[in-house]
Each structure stands twice: as C-alpha cells, then as structure tokens.
Structure 1
Amino acid sequence: MALSMLPPQAPERDGNSARLLVGGVALFPQALQAIEQAKQEVRIETYIFADDSVGEAFCEAMCNAAARGVTVRLVLDGFGGTEGIQTWAPRLKQHGVKVRVFRPEGFVFKPSPRRLRRMHRKMIAVDGQTAFVGGINLIDDMNHENERKELMRANARVEKPVQFSFGKSGVLSARDLQVNMDLLDQDLGPRYDFAVALQGPVVHDIWHSMEWLWLQIGPGGKVTDTFNSDWWKRRIAQYRDTLAQHRAQALPPTAGKVKVQLAVRDNFRLRRRIERAYLQALGRAQSTVVLANAYFLPGRKMRNAIVAARRRGVVVKLLLQGRIEYRFQHYATQYLYSSLLDEGVEVYEYLPGFLHAKVAVIDSNWATVGSSNLDPLSSLFAREANVIVHNREFAGQLRKELIQAIERGGRQVLPHDHAQRPFKARALSWLCYKLMLLAVFVGGFGSRY
C-alpha cells in the first residue's frame, strides 16, 4: 500500500514567476522577508545551517514566526547540519519550531552505505505560495571556515613520509599531495552559487515534496528506505490523509508566464529523475551548453551525452571548481579533462572563490538550478532537488551570468598545457579517479554509473 503512495514525477507547471538569485547576498534577504511575513506555515530544508550571522538571522526569524503562531518546520541533515544541530536546534525547539534531523551521525563510526544517503536539498517554502530552491546553504558566502578545516585535516594526514610507487616510471611521495594553504588567504571571494525564487503552481509540488520528506524521518532521525519499519507503518495513515488533502487542494494562483518543473532525486522511484532531465536536454541540444558544477564526476552516460552534443557541433562550456576544496574529488575530476578536451569541450576553472553552483543552460530556453552535483554522491545516494525552467528570458539571464563568471574569473584549461602536466600530477589524478570508480563498483553501483 505504501508503494502506491510514492510521489510521482512532478509535472511541468505553467503560470509561474521565477527569479534568478545569485549568491546568499540575493537569497537571504528575500527568504527572511518571506518568513517574517508568513501567516500559516514555514518549511525549510538545508544541508548546512552554520553558526554564523546568517544562521543566527534565520534562527531568529523562525523563532519569531513560531511566536506569532506560525507552524515552522526545519529539516537538517545529520552530517552537514552538525553546527545547526548543536547551536541552533535547542533554541529553535524551545521556541516551538519543529526540528527533524535526517540520519544523525552517531558517536560510534559504523561503515555503511546508508551514511552516504544524505539530505542535500536546499529549499524554503512559505504558506504554500512562495518557495526558494537552489544550491545555497544557510551559511554566509564569505564563511570559509569549513573549507579551511578540511584543508588542514588533509595536510595533517600526509605529514608522515609515506611513498607511493608507480613502477619504474617514478615515485609519488605523500608530501607531493600537500595543499597550498595560501589558497585560502589570497583574495578569496564569496562562494558562487544560485537559487530561484518561485511563485505559482509549481510551489504546490515543492510543498508536497517537503511534506513527503518530513514524514519519512522517524524517531531518532531514522529514515525509511523500505517502508518495513514499524514507525512507518503507523505513519501511513497520517500520510494517506495528507495525500488526500494535497490532491484536493487548489493550485496556487498563476504568478507569471514561466513554465517550471520540480525534479527531485530520492531512493525510490525517482532515483534518476535529475540525471534523466540532463540527459534528455543534452540529447536535444542544438547550439550551446553552459554548465557549472562544483563537484563534477559524471557517470558514463552523462559524459557520453556531453561528447555527443559536442560532436553534433554544439558549443559546450564547463565551469568547474578551480580551488582545492576536497582534494580527492579535485584530482579525480582533472582526470576527466583529457577526454573532454580532446572532443573540443571548453573547460574553465573558477578561481575568485569556491564554486558551489549546480546549474546548466542548454540552448535558449532550458535551464536548471538546484542542489544536485554531477558526481556519485548526488547521483546514487543523496536526496536532491532541482527546478527545471523552460523560459527564454530566465535561460538568457543565467547564461549571461555564467559567461561573465567565465570571463572575469575562469582559467581556461588548454589541451596542450593539460597534457604537459608533470608526471606526478597526472599519476595522482589517475589514482584518485580509479579509486573513485573502485568505490562505486564495490558499493554495487557500477552498472548504474
């Protein structure tokens, strides 16, 4: 019975307004204003809820809304949301905000694929009328403390004089893997990311998707992936009533002329929804593809679709992470450059700050903005949410912004220069990429990636 209640793929909705927001500096004031004006209910899902000025502002806004009698729900990921769980959750609960933690991390480390199944969505919805969807966490754009800690931990792991042999062709020492900490001190700009402010019928689908995730989180943050748990069986009746109410509700009134579709990734029937949206759009591409992605390790089908578009004469530009945030991912991504550059794909690395965007524009009227990276974690494990916008004006605005980012802060990776990298750099990229593939196959996901 529970399987029959699984949310279907959301339809394309006409009659919406969709405003592109670049960075938290654009998103946060509008989202906070919407929360302050809420009359009935506020729903928030976020991966990171930082202990900084932005986190404090949202904590205060949620507490004030709850004090006015507004129902406020917050879903935090148990891994990414650690700061929010420790700093803000106690205060929020004290003021009547309902908080659920998606798979909290325990004190004892237990290796399990389930630990990779994170809640990576970033969505805010107010009164079922207004929503914000994108890749922006609740953290100051200039707060780079997490990145700094990651680099310091990475350097600490290679302090011991370990050596890795690569046959007769050379030796790679552990110290060669060290990160230049100056990367965090030289004119580091704001985190580069996007969100979309939405009004109109598509908010109906966003609201319902957030309800579905809320009900899946059980006692202690357990999340059902099978519907066999006793707590879920007790919750089925509650969800059935909610589903009936959802179907009976009228759609929010039209607010514009933009066609928008919500695309989510879950671990049920929508496992490949976002990936398929990319593949379909790439397969129809006729002129241009501009794609910006923070963690770019696409599977075979995605890489083939990008190459196939280029072979048809489509101009393909990729804006990828230029600064080292996660070393393993960074070097593994560089291994893919050669095959893409050989096909004429233009690759640029973003340098002014940390790239956190997960967006794409294909031709003149297809664009997507959301939380889903093109890597194994987003494609195989995490709960993600993107919106797909079919609108010439919106797509043009996003394309213009990405091209400007390439021109003002993108370092082009040239085929000759990439091929002439030192042996140790090439060996490191090869090793990281092969280890990533090994992990995917050991996890039993090779056929899906």
Structure 2
Amino acid sequence: MERRWIPGNQFTLLENGEEFFPRVFACIANARREVIVETFILFEDKVGMQLHQALIAAARRGAQVDVTVDDWGSPDFSEYFLSSLKEAGVRIHAFNPGPRPFGMRPHLLRRMHRKIAVIDREVAFVGGINFSADHLGDFGPEAKQDYAVEIHGPLVAEIHRFCHAALAEGLRYAGPRRQWWRWRKQFRTDPGQLPHSGPAEALFVTRDNRRHLDDIERHYRIAIRAAKKRILIANAYFFPGYRFIRELKRAARRGVDVRLILQGEPDMPFVKTAASMLYHHLLRAGVRIYEYCERPLHGKVAVMDDEWSTVGSSNLDPMSLVFNLEANVIIRDRGFTQALAANLDQLTCDACNEITLASLGELKGWSLVQSFLAFHFTRRYGAWATLLPRHVPRLLPPAPNAGKAVPAAFAGLKERKA
C-alpha cells in the first residue's frame, strides 16, 4: 500500500539523548492508556533503567505497555529486569529470538532496526536514538551524534496503526498461546484521525522484507531528482544503490549544492577502504563530502531545498536498504527543514573536515584494487543475500541471561520490594 501525505502535523527536532530521553520519559510518565516502544537496542545501563522504571510505573497506573526489542541488538537482560517488567504487566517482545549456535544468530541479516515510541496515541517519537547511555555526551568520546523527532497531529494515528499491525503480525507466528488476535481487534477498531496540530505535511515510510522493500530509498531518490538548490545528507553508513549515487551526481552537475556529512572514523576499517572509491567517484562529479570527527556519527537525516526533510532509523547502506526493518518520517515544512538545516550547517562548521581530491590522493596500484573490491562487494552483497529464504518474523518473550548479575542500581529496588 502506498503511503499518503498527511497534513496538520507538528514536529520538534531532538538532538542526542540529552534532548530525546527527557521528552520520552516525561510523556511516558503522563501516559494514561497505552505505551508502545520499538527499539533496536535496550541496555541495562542508566538510560535503560530509567525506561524500565517509567514503563513499570505506567503499567501500574493501568496503561497497556508493549515493548519490542531486537534479539540481536538487545541480547542480554538479567532475570530481574524481565521479571519486574512482567510482574507490573509490561509485555516485552523480542524480534526473532532463538538459539545461537556457536554464539551466532541464525537470522543476523533480518533485524528490527526501528526506533519508535507512541504514547496514548497522542504523541509519537521516530528517529535513530536507541535506549542506551552511549547517546549521552557524558558517555565520553564514543558518545553518538544522532537525531529524533517528537510528533503531534494526525501522523501519530498512522504510526499507532502501524505499530499495532506489526505486533499482530509478529505475534501471529509465535504460537497459539500468544493470543495475537487481541492486537488485530485493537488495530481494526482504531478510532480514526487526530486533530491538526501544526503546518507540516508528512509521510511515515517503512522498509520491510515483504511489501515495502525499497520505499525509503525511493523517496530519497524522488527528492534528489526534484531538488533545485540544495541537498544535505548526514548518514552514519553511506553505501546506497547505484541509482541513488547516479541521482546525486546528476544533481551536482545541474548546479545543486550537494553535501554529505559522513563518519570520519567508522567502526569497521573495511568501510573506510570501500569509501575511498566512493569518495573519488562523487567528488569528481562536484559532490562535497565532510567527515564528522568529533565523535561517532549515528544520525540518519537529510534536507532537500527549503521544505523537504527526513529523520529516521535507516542508514543508506545495504543493511538498512535491503535487510533491516526501518522507519523514517518525511516532512514537508519550511520551519522544521530550516531548523534541521541550521543544525547540520553548524555541525559542518564546528566538527567536520572537508574531504577533497587533493587530500585523498590518487587511487592507484594495490590501493585501487582494494578499494574497488571493497566498494563493489559492499554494494552487491545485499543483492546476493536476498536469494536466501525470507523467514517469517516472530515476536516472543526474551529469555533472561542466567549468568547476568542484577545491576547495582536494581539491587536496592529489589531489597526494598522484599
């Protein structure tokens, strides 16, 4: 089903955990009816523990609370962490859990990478920020730079419907005792649209392995083709499809100011090798490339001209564009787009190094061979892997890690409860 533009929304840009976590936790603290959270990573650190307590408090007030995590991204929970959620009535689901022979997850290439929260069907959050302390500045040099949005308006109902449908689909294949039909009933009796809250038109765009295989990348390409003045993309892992690269080069050659903000220090050396060929290719076409060097870049945002922008969980690499379950919002609003553009411009000035052909040097000899092989393998392995069977995703309760100790911050809570 083709996504539709929904008018009447209000978006607030949230940068890093310092802005994101307080807003999410405040909304959960005020929840009266329902809390839905989807996240790739949930750790038992100070952020995870804050979420844990907020969810328990909401459930005890009578709200229905559902949390979905990815089994690979969030593999280790203590028994106390899970049992205390269950006792309060929180329903926590793991995407594709199962045995790990030799410590490896069989379905590693099919991950639930979305980051979504919906509270009381009145406010939603979408972005790239996980519930972990490495999204806070005090984490140190490895703290991530990232973005999310807070959403009010009719788009919240669309996101809410999607989350209920995802729960229904995942629980359907988890076994008869999971009573997945409860979510189907809630999904079908959804009470309709919400009143307008602002001037923004928006799309909620997702990627899955069944019906929406390339929606996010396709909307990027449409916007790039339509751009007349400016394209600014900040993305942690940038190895898009050949058509995407071709559209960027065409935009630069017709006079559009095309700028990329990419990772200066990727966590895999292989990525740096592959990027060398991509950098030469784009720079020769007139694309300007900046590397963010202050700390790890984890953002997935973009601005096109004066009114188009996107924030979400999807990188522009084969993992996100071919395998992962992702979610982005695409926004048509001059005010929000200008705010995001100003933020990225400031990031470029304060914390980025511009990459030039002169600074890269010439690719030749063994360096050229390495870069060529790494780039084309990175681009093509996604297509090869799609030949593998596509299993049906399941949602099941996560199993506790029996060897994991109760975090110190929980020990006092457990003693007081006893």
TM category (shorter chain) comes to 0.7 to 0.9
Answer with 112-121 or 392-401: which moved more. 112-121
- 2:54 maps to what in 1? 61
Counterpart of 1:400, as a letter, is: A
**Whole-Å separation in 2 of the counterparts to 1:438 and 1:362:** 27
Q: Which runs of 5+ in 2 are unaligned?
A: 389-418
Answer with 266-275 or 314-323: which moved more. 266-275
Does the C-alpha gap of structure 1 residues 205 and 441 become closer, same or farther in structure 2, counting only changes over 3 Å? closer
TM-score (norm 2): 0.86
The alignment status of 1:299 with 2:241, answered yes or no, reads yes
Number of residue pairs aligned between Structure 1 and Structure 2: 388
- 2:210 maps to what in 1? 268
- Which of 2, 11, 23 aligns to 1:18? It is 11
**Whole-Å separation in 2 of the counterparts to 1:445 and 1:404:** 43
- Which of 30, 43, 57 aligns to 2:23? It is 30
**Whole-Å separation in 1 of the counterparts to 2:288 and 2:45:** 37
TM-score (norm 1): 0.80
Deviation at 1:421, TM superposition (A): 6.6
**Whole-Å separation in 2 of the counterparts to 1:442 and 1:260:** 34
- 2:396 maps to what in 1? none
Deviation at 1:266, TM superposition (A): 1.4
**Whole-Å separation in 1 of the counterparts to 2:38 and 2:288:** 34
Deviation at 1:22, TM superposition (A): 0.7
- 1:241 maps to what in 2? 185
Q: 1:364-387, CA deviations, whole angstroms, 9 ceiling, x for partnerless residues?
A: 000000000101111111110000
Q: Greater RCO between the two (CA within 8 Å, min separation 6)?
A: 2
**Whole-Å separation in 2 of the counterparts to 1:412 and 1:302:** 22
Does the C-alpha gap of structure 1 residues 144 and 299 become closer, same or farther in structure 2, counting only changes over 3 Å? farther
Deviation at 1:288, TM superposition (A): 0.3
**Whole-Å separation in 1 of the counterparts to 2:291 and 2:79:** 35
Q: 1:68-90, CA deviations, whole angstroms, 9 ceiling, x for partnerless residues?
A: 11111000001011245777333
Deviation at 1:96, TM superposition (A): 1.4
Q: Does the aligned pair in 2 maintain the 1:48–1:83 contact within 8 Å?
A: no
- 2:113 maps to what in 1? 120
Q: Does the aligned pair in 2 maintain the 1:23–1:141 contact within 8 Å?
A: no
Deviation at 1:268, TM superposition (A): 2.1
- Which of 130, 134, 146 aligns to 1:137? It is 130
Counterpart of 1:215, as a letter, is: A
**Whole-Å separation in 1 of the counterparts to 2:66 and 2:235:** 29
The alignment status of 1:210 with 2:163, answered yes or no, reads yes
Aligned to 1:217, what secondary structure does the other structure show?
A: helix
Does the C-alpha gap of structure 1 residues 87 and 292 become closer, same or farther in structure 2, counting only changes over 3 Å? farther
1:31-430 mapped onto 2 (5 Å cutoff): 31-84=24-77, 88-108=81-101, 114-141=107-134, 188=141, 190-218=143-171, 235=180, 241-246=185-190, 249-420=191-362, 426-430=368-372
Deviation at 1:39, TM superposition (A): 0.2
Q: Which runs of 5+ in 1 are unaligned?
A: 1-7, 146-183, 224-229
Does the C-alpha gap of structure 1 residues 110 and 84 become closer, same or farther in structure 2, counting only changes over 3 Å? closer
**Whole-Å separation in 2 of the counterparts to 1:79 and 1:287:** 41
Counterpart of 1:62, as a letter, is: L
Q: 1:92-125, CA deviations, whole angstroms, 9 ceiling, x for partnerless residues?
A: 2232110110012522159898431100000111
Q: Does the aligned pair in 1 maintain the 2:171–2:179 contact within 8 Å?
A: no
Counterpart of 2:188, as a letter, is: A
Q: Does the aligned pair in 1 maintain the 2:322–2:382 contact within 8 Å?
A: no
**Whole-Å separation in 2 of the counterparts to 1:122 and 1:191:** 15
**Whole-Å separation in 2 of the counterparts to 1:438 and 1:16:** 38
Q: Does the aligned pair in 1 maintain the 2:38–2:68 contact within 8 Å?
A: yes
Q: Does the aligned pair in 1 maintain the 2:206–2:212 contact within 8 Å?
A: yes
Deviation at 1:256, TM superposition (A): 1.5
Instruction: State the percentage of identical aligned residues.
Output: 33
Q: Does the aligned pair in 2 maintain the 1:49–1:55 contact within 8 Å?
A: yes
Deviation at 1:191, TM superposition (A): 1.1
Does the C-alpha gap of structure 1 residues 296 and 86 become closer, same or farther in structure 2, counting only changes over 3 Å? farther
Q: Does the aligned pair in 1 maintain the 2:39–2:68 contact within 8 Å?
A: yes
Q: Does the aligned pair in 2 maintain the 1:113–1:443 contact within 8 Å?
A: no
